[in-house]
A and B are shown apart, each in its own frame.
Chain A
Amino acid sequence: MSSQRTQTGYNFAYLDEQTKRMIRRALLKAVAIPGYQVPFGSREMPLPYGWGTGGIQVTASILGRDDVLKVIDQGSDDTTNAVNIRRFFERTAGVATTERTEDATIIQTRHRIPEKPLSEDQIMVYQVPLPEPMGRLEPQEVVTRKLHALADYGLMHVKLYEDIARYGHIASTYDYPVLVNGRYLMAPSPIPKFDNPKLHMSPALQLFGAGREKRVYAIPPYTRVESLDFEDHPFSVQRWDDPCALCGATDSFLDEVVLDDAGGRMFVCSDSDYCKTRQAAGHTGSQSPVPATQEEAA
């Protein structure tokens, strides 16, 4: 991306340097106390609250001119919100962007963790709508703050108990609560629980930004992250009966695509880069495009 195209009249990556320093200080505190929600002076951003203002502020404050940025929403680089945020940083920072997971130094995400394993050179930035994992059970911040301070998380297990009593299994499927480094209960943002194991001992630094709620938190590299469960009802992740219809993957999170109004549907990788890479390497699925030559012949 050439720097000529960047927006004039604004600082590099939109935020002023003082604000960035303030956010980086909050992030340092967050890294020092894994899983603890650090209040920060969230700024009003030119994007609406709930659309990634926390993630954008975190990314803006850690972004350098040499960084390569990848932005995904629902695992995909080309959903409108991902495109919009990527455009925002192209305009305000002029940094290089990529869709390839392994080429990115910073990956801002909403609702997914890429399927390809991350490395020590990478930073994940999560957009967080509701940072308080106990918020649905106890709306008062004054109370939840005390519960965190005393590591009093019985309430969360009451919820899980109730799920099992009612449905026979734990019914949280996304934003599944985790305990970080054996101490703080944390909302991993609305990633599917399928992605929870990737949080555990990740080589990448993981930063979480909640703009509207004005909180940041972090999981430093190689930190223990356990999904809450019971000994006799251990945590488990989603599995699909079908492989990806485009690349044949059996180890990825699949989106369901409705094909017609007669119940026809197919399952494809939610991680568009993962799917593309596999297709390029020759993997196929039941709905793979027919090679061009054959198509012409037909």
Chain B
Amino acid sequence: MYVAVKGGENAILNSHELLATARRGDAGIPEITPLQIREQLRLAVARVMSEGSLYDEDLAALALKQAAGDQIEAIFLLRAYRTTLPRFGYSVPVDTSRMALQRRISAAFKDLPGGQVLGPTYDYTQRLLDFSLVEMQPAPIPPLAAEPLPDSMPRVTDLLGHEGLMEAELPAHGDPAPADLSREPLSFPADRATRLQNLARGDEGFLLAMGYSTQRGYANSHPFAGEIRMGDVALEIIPEELGFAVCIGEITLTECQMINQFAGSRTVPPQFTRGYGLAFGEAERKAMAMALVDRSLRASELGEEMKSPAQQQEFVLSHSDNVEASGFVQHLKLPHYVDFQSELELLRKMRAKRAKVGAGETALEETV
């Protein structure tokens, strides 16, 4: 006798218990705290904040703990929380030229006003496993700079802009308020502000691959890392009752401006154009990849030939979001009995028909 599968609810509850147990691991090992994650896994926290579209180190650290370190799951948790939050207002655009810098490099100039500031970076670490980290170490003491960094440093792209060699970055006609992709659906063609917003929320791995493809000849972008800067910027809002900007805190940002050649068009002389990347926290790889993809998505507006995936905005923007992608890929785990049954029935019908035709042919051959 056949008994239909039952008890879905119980199975789900039990699965939650098992998940909690697996997350905790060996109970003999001290439990990790979100504070430890926030302080010691700051790059993981930064990615969750960026792609989760919410700057909150504590919540991102909590999400990472809850997700057992699965970044996309943590991003999903943060997004689902963010969507329920009320909006109090919108900040004034942040001014990255007034950033309190921890790092600032340019690959375009050897030296420049303010200088190259290496800051904390894995770039020159030789990637040898450091076995001393297996044991607890005394807290390191940071080196002191010979002189304090200036309060603000001009951006490299601004320096080029003075000479007219760099395209001006002007607001769109009428300076419209940017779309809010967490409130309005993406529609095509999408303007640059919308595209940048999509890329800022986009999956780092996806953007990395897309950006990489433009370097390997799928779109011809000739990029130079004009400037990468990382540090703290003040976040300001203008309360209606006050009418002037007040600082509500500081956030850490990584900004990348890629400089790209542009041959000029009928109306515009040859000049440099830029691709732009911005991410929460220390997220250099993401910011650079984003800048490459931003530039390649401008192919149509700059009258460049469009033949590569990274230049197709419907392709890039529709597939950049890892919460969407992860959900839809994994929905294949859901039952598809009905569709599958339909296909099964069709396949049997087609095979039966073919068998009949085949048999007919054989019979014909025999009579001949």
- Give A residues with C-beta under 8 Å from B: 10, 14, 16, 39-46, 48-51, 53, 73-76, 78-84, 87, 110-112, 129, 139-142, 167-168, 171, 173-175, 190-194, 212, 214-215, 238, 240, 245-246, 253-257, 259, 266, 268, 270, 272, 287, 289-290
Contacts and interface: CB of A to CB of B under 8 A. Distances in A.
Given A16-B84, A112-B338, A42 B327 contact: no
A48 B328 CA distance: 8
Nearest to A130: B328
A140 B314 contact: yes
A94 to B, nearest CB: 16
A190 B327 contact: no
13 contacts: A41-B183, A41-B185, A44-B82, A78-B7, A129-B328, A139-B314, A141-B188, A142-B314, A167-B350, A192-B341, A238-B345, A270-B341, A289-B1
A84 B185 contact: no
B2 A80 contact: no
B84 A10 contact: yes
A44 B323 CA distance: 9
B335 A50 contact: no
Most chain B C-beta atoms within 10 Å of own C-beta, residue among A10, A16, A215, A259: A16
Contacts of B128: none
Nearest to A9: B84
Interface string B175-205: 0000000111111110000000000000000
Contacts of B82: 44
Contact of B338 (A80, A174, A215): A174
Contacts of B328: 49-50, 129, 212
A80 B9 CA distance: 7
B353 A238 contact: no
A48 B326 contact: yes
B335 A79 contact: yes
A82 B341 contact: no
Given A43-B182, A48-B326, A174-B342, 18 more contacts: A43-B83, A44-B80, A46-B80, A48-B327, A49-B327, A50-B327, A50-B328, A83-B12, A129-B328, A167-B350, A171-B346, A192-B338, A192-B342, A268-B4, A270-B338, A287-B2, A289-B1, A290-B1
Nearest to B52: A44
Contact of A50 (B4, B79, B330, B342): B330
A194 B9 CA distance: 29
Instruction: Using C-beta atoms within 8 Å of the partner chain, give the interface range for chain B.
Output: 35 or more
Nearest to A87: B9
Interface of B: 1-2, 4-9, 11-12, 76, 79-80, 82-84, 86, 182-189, 314, 323-324, 326-331, 334-339, 341-346, 350, 353
Nearest to B2: A287
A43 B83 CA distance: 7
Contacts of B314: 139-142
Contacts of B84: 10, 14, 16
A116 B144 CA distance: 77
Contacts of B323: 44, 48-49
Nearest to B80: A46
Is the contact region of chain A dominated by helix, strand, or loop, or is it mixed? loop
Contacts of B324: 49, 212
Most chain B C-beta atoms within 10 Å of own C-beta, residue among A82, A194, A212: A212
A112 B337 CA distance: 11
A28 to B, nearest CB: 17
Nearest to A141: B188
A40 B342 CA distance: 32
Contacts of A173: 339, 342-343, 345-346
A12 to B, nearest CB: 13
B80 A41 contact: no
A142 B185 contact: no
Contacts of A111: 336, 338-339
A194 to B, nearest CB: 8
Contacts of B330: 48, 50
Contacts of A84: 8, 12
Nearest to B3: A289
A245 B36 CA distance: 58
B327 A212 contact: yes
Contact of A73 (B12, B182, B335): B335
B185 A214 contact: yes
A41 B184 CA distance: 4
B2 A246 contact: yes
A87 B329 CA distance: 23
Contacts of B7: 78
Contacts of B182: 43-44
- In order of increasing CB-CB distance, the 3 nearest A-B pairs are A49-B327, A50-B331, A48-B327
A40 B86 CA distance: 19
Nearest to A80: B8
Contacts of B12: 80, 83-84, 87
A261 to B, nearest CB: 16
B337 A255 contact: yes
Contacts of A240: 345
Contacts of A73: 334-335
A259 B1 CA distance: 10
A255 B341 contact: yes
